[in-house]
Amino acid sequence: MTNLNCCLIYAGGTFGSHGVPLSPLPATVFLPILHNQLSQHGYHVKILDNRIIKDSSTLTASDFVAFYQLILHAYQQGQRRFVLITGTDTLSFLAAFLANALEDFSDISLVITGSMQPLLIATSPDYQTDTASDAWANLSEAIDLAMTHFGVFVQFCHHSFDARNTQKIDSQSDNAFIGATAQFGQTRTHSTTIDESLAKLPMLIQQADNTVIEAIYALPNNPDILANALAGIHRHTRAVILIGFGAGNLPQSESLIAAITKLQQQGIAIISTTMCAYGGVNDNYAAGAWQYQHGVWSAGMLGVAGIYGKALWLALNNQLTQAQWVQS
């Protein structure tokens, strides 16, 4: 199998970690090992020069934009197929952002993957491969997917997901993710050009440092606690994700309505989702429907990571409006 046209982006995470406790190996150490193993299995990929190699729990919006920039520059040079290895903690968030950012590129294939176990035995001083790890299967399947289908996907534990909406639900099992099943063969409209995207990059880079998407988790407390949390959000916040019960249900109170109204007057989006892994939100219950009457947006089937990625992309482009939210 030869994949000369597939680009690999290594961003750290468990996949390339080593030692006790685990931490990502430097690229100068890990990438030659990875390249050698890929070659031995017949995968001849181009490894892109990426300087953001860290535990994914420390990734920020600026890092997300940097990955987008790296892919755009490679696209400009004629590359169309990419695999990105990152840590599982924020894999879903990064995947959702990049899926929204690359939505208008019909001829790009990007597959985001990682692993729950390192590729190498953590305690091996000579970096021996761990044959019991899920790392190699995830990577090889991601490359195969990138070479056969266009779109933005997450590949993990033999499952292909739509990158716009995945969620990590298990901190230990190899089968750690759920999400919307990837749809292959769909017609995608190429409605932007690489020059247009590159021209927007300076704005995205500048705004990423000062764009905040917050999340507030509902608990069985007095509704005033939730209202106080909304009142205390960061001054650079562009959207608040309200993580409610069941189908997005929340306790109703005058103080909470007042807090929601004040944020909306400041141009801050409030998006309702659920703490449940499946089912999304709806307005079937009065306990959930009341908030939509006061301007809260529905996340539909999107989980927290999917909302974050979509809201961040729209906010960076100054398009975070309810009309754009529903349309995109």
Predicted confidence (pLDDT) at residue 44 exceeds the cutoff of 90? no
Average pLDDT, the chain: 95
Kindly state whether residue 201 falls inside one of the protein's structural domains.
no
Q: Output the domain CATH number for residue 57.
A: 3.40.50.1170
Q: What's the rounded mean pLDDT across residues 208-233?
A: 96
Q: What confidence score (pLDDT) does residue 33 get?
A: 95
Q: What confidence score (pLDDT) does residue 126 get?
A: 93
Predicted confidence (pLDDT) at residue 182 exceeds the cutoff of 70? yes
Dig out the tokens for 235 from the structure: 């001054």
Predicted TM-score (pTM) of the model is 0.96
State the pLDDT confidence band at 2, using cuts at 50, 70 and 90: very low
Do 36 and 132 have their domain in common? yes
Predicted confidence (pLDDT) at residue 315 exceeds the cutoff of 80? yes
Q: Give me the amino acid identity at 113.
A: T
> Which of 196, 228, 256 is the endpoint of a domain?
196
Instruction: Supply the range of the domain harboring residue 323.
Output: 212-327
* CA 200/CA 65 separation, integer angstroms: 11
pLDDT digits (tens, 9 = 90+) for 183-200: 998 776 667 889 999 999
* CA 81/CA 150 separation, integer angstroms: 8
Kindly state whether residue 203 falls inside one of the protein's structural domains.
no
Q: What's the rounded mean pLDDT across residues 136-147?
A: 97
Q: In what order do the strands lie in the sheet containing 212-217?
A: 212-217, 237-244, 269-274, 297-298
Predicted confidence (pLDDT) at residue 3 exceeds the cutoff of 60? no
Kindly state whether residue 202 falls inside one of the protein's structural domains.
no
Q: What confidence score (pLDDT) does residue 328 get?
A: 80
Which residues are within 8 A (CB) of 315 and not within 5 positions of it... i.e. 6 or more apart? 207, 211, 213, 238, 239
pLDDT digits (tens, 9 = 90+) for 24-42: 898 999 999 999 999 999 9
Q: Output the domain CATH number for residue 275.
A: 3.40.50.40
Number of domains in the chain: 2
Kindly state whether residue 95 falls inside one of the protein's structural domains.
yes
> Which of 142, 167, 196 is the endpoint of a domain?
196
Kindly state whether residue 166 falls inside one of the protein's structural domains.
yes
pLDDT digits (tens, 9 = 90+) for 67-117: 999 999 999 999 999 999 999 999 999 999 999 999 999 999 999 999 999
Predicted confidence (pLDDT) at residue 1 exceeds the cutoff of 50? no
Predicted confidence (pLDDT) at residue 4 exceeds the cutoff of 70? no
What is the torsion angle, in degrees rounded to the nearest 10, for the CA atoms of residue 57, residue 179, residue 118 and residue 3?
-110
- 67 by Cβ neighbours in 10 Å (0-12 / 13-18 / 19+) ranks as buried
pLDDT digits (tens, 9 = 90+) for 225-281: 999 999 999 999 999 999 999 999 999 999 999 999 999 999 999 999 999 999 999
Do 14 and 137 have their domain in common? yes
